[in-house]
Structure 1
Amino acid sequence: MTHTLLDTPHFTGIGRRTSDGRHVVAVSLRSYLSVPEIRAALAETLGEEAGGAGAAGETEFVVLHADEAVDADAVSDTRLATGRLHVMRTPGSEVETSLAERVVSMMTEDAVVSMTDSVADLGGDSLMCLELSEAFIGQWGVEIDPVEIFRANSLKELAEDIEARQ
């Protein structure tokens, strides 16, 4: 099992390939980055340091808390089985696709969004949640409180809530 140490102006970290070929990374941030910004930085860093071994859509990652060490345990099989990794998942339904398109339209043009991301992961704020709430009424006739939008664990969960309320 080979580990790659990562050191950028944005984060320090460690990564490895799993036995099934997934690239997993644990990062400790040096400054605030949204999940899409972390994906972009990882894709660039892994492309340079691992000979192109990682792309934003292929890398699963976890952001370490301040008390967690950047070491092999951070990307161990045990950690992968029990931790919440940011995994790239594409939309699977019409509502998920429309929701993802709406969210992407509200972000920077190079943002890579996954259905496993939450609005909070994406750097969303109260204004974004209010705009999404209004969009849901206009597009699907569904009213979801902005606080509920912010608290949803993922875009997938939010899409399921929309579908359930239709």
Structure 2
Amino acid sequence: MASVLRRLAVPATLIPLSVPVGLYAFAKLNPEKTTAYAKPVFLWLCAKLKTFHQERFCVLKEDVFSGLKKQDGRNLQVLEIGPGKGANFEYFPPRTSVIAVDPNIEFAQELEENSKQYPDVKVTKFVVAGAEDMSAVAEGSVDAVVCTLALCSVQDVDAVLGEVKRVLKPVIKVTTLTV
């Protein structure tokens, strides 16, 4: 019985992920069929799953983001693709400025509100766009790019990685987390 439960544990943790990712993918692939309800529903689902994700990815995120904390006290400019409500802000070092890129404008207000919990992290810009076209972000302007649980939702991964390369300063740090 225990072995059966262990085999079901990983898929059981991925099932709740599939709902918001599936809804988001549907909205991206079928914009003409997306109703006014799709984006708020996605926002609501992300809020409900925040605790679930934090419990499962906490240790992994601490390890992945530890490199960002080695900035010798200087200001850090981070571009975050698909920041949601700012679930990664607790892992950013003090004096971090964030440029948020997300096609869902519904997240902008929630991100701004939640960022107040992290006074050492400032959202300096919210770009409403897909990660495939981050032309609103200057070339060579960011120290690090963070993309957690979002790269699986883009339409053209190669275009996104091209944009990441374009916006990063010559000394780079790319952090991704995809399940």
The answer to whether the superposition gives a TM-score over 0.5 is no
TM-score (structure 2 length as normaliser): 0.28
| Bigger share in helix | 2
TM-score (structure 1 length as normaliser): 0.30
